[in-house]
Chain A
Amino acid sequence: AQKITQTQPGMFVQEKEAVTLDCTYDTSDQSYGLFWYKQPSSGEMIFLIYQGSYDEQNATEGRYSLNFQKARKSANLVISASQLGDSAMYFCAMRGLQGGSEKLVFGKGTKLTVNP
């Protein structure tokens, strides 16, 4: 079974500092994908970054980077130079096969608060 674990219900960071949001996953698949989404208070789900299980380099998208450690089954999100607008819920998600079809499961999320 596929499972995503986010152990930090809430995180606080000062504006302009970097922050790491933790994500560990469990799967028996060899081929899978890992995603991070942001959900501001408005409720929309915003895709941030993707990492494939066979990608050798860590993914980066602007201020977002994914620290992928395959042996540890972790896929932590690093946000550099935090901004007030980064305050939101952050969800880690994994895509893998279930019975031949592609299942997408999410963790419980981390609420990030950026302080001025």
Chain B
Amino acid sequence: DVKVTQSSRYLVKRTGEKVFLECVQDMDHENMFWYRQDPGLGLRLIYFSYDVKMKEKGDIPEGYSVSREKKERFSLILESASTNQTSMYLCASSLTRRTEAFFGQGTRLTVV
């Protein structure tokens, strides 16, 4: 069974902290994505990766970075968390452009 796992379901962090959100997939997928979801704004793409150590900026990369040291793991890093980064974060992976993306369960991050 296909699986994308995000390390935390809920997370509360303080302003200025460095935050790591982890995502692991067990499907040997090349492509992985990080989104944030906010009411009325849909899913906005932060970063994506098409191979190990490869990454591309999405539509809203400011304040975020990513790491992909192994094919199955794609980490989202908030260098210095701010309250406007409070959101639901979704990780996804897919094999090719013709196949669907599979999503993790999401991490609801609150920055106080």
B64 is an interface residue with CB less than 8 A from chain A: no
* Given A44-B105, A105-B45, 11 extra CB contacts under 8 A: A91-B42, A93-B101, A101-B31, A101-B54, A102-B94, A102-B96, A103-B48, A103-B58, A104-B31, A104-B94, A109-B42
**B105 CB contacts on chain A under 8 angstroms:** 43-44
- Any chain B CB within 8 A of the CB of A25? no
For B44, the chain A residues whose CB sits under 8 A away are: 106
- The number of chain B residues with a CB under 8 A from chain A is 30
- Is there an interface contact between B97 and A105, defined as CB atoms closer than 8 Å? no
Name A's B-contacting residues (CB within 8 A): 6, 9, 31-33, 35, 43-45, 47, 50, 52, 91, 93, 95-96, 98-109
User: If A103-B48, A104-B92 touch, does A43 touch B106 (CB 8 Å cutoff)?
Assistant: yes
Contact A106 B50 (CB under 8 A): no
Assuming the A-B contacts A43-B106, A104-B48, are A98 and B43 also in contact, with contact meaning beta carbons closer than 8 angstroms in the complex? no
Q: What would 30 A/B residue contacts be, using CB atoms closer than 8 Å? A: A6-B42, A33-B98, A35-B101, A44-B103, A44-B105, A47-B101, A47-B102, A50-B99, A50-B100, A52-B98, A91-B42, A93-B43, A95-B94, A95-B98, A98-B56, A101-B48, A101-B49, A101-B54, A102-B31, A102-B50, A102-B96, A103-B56, A103-B58, A104-B31, A104-B33, A104-B92, A104-B94, A106-B43, A108-B40, A108-B41
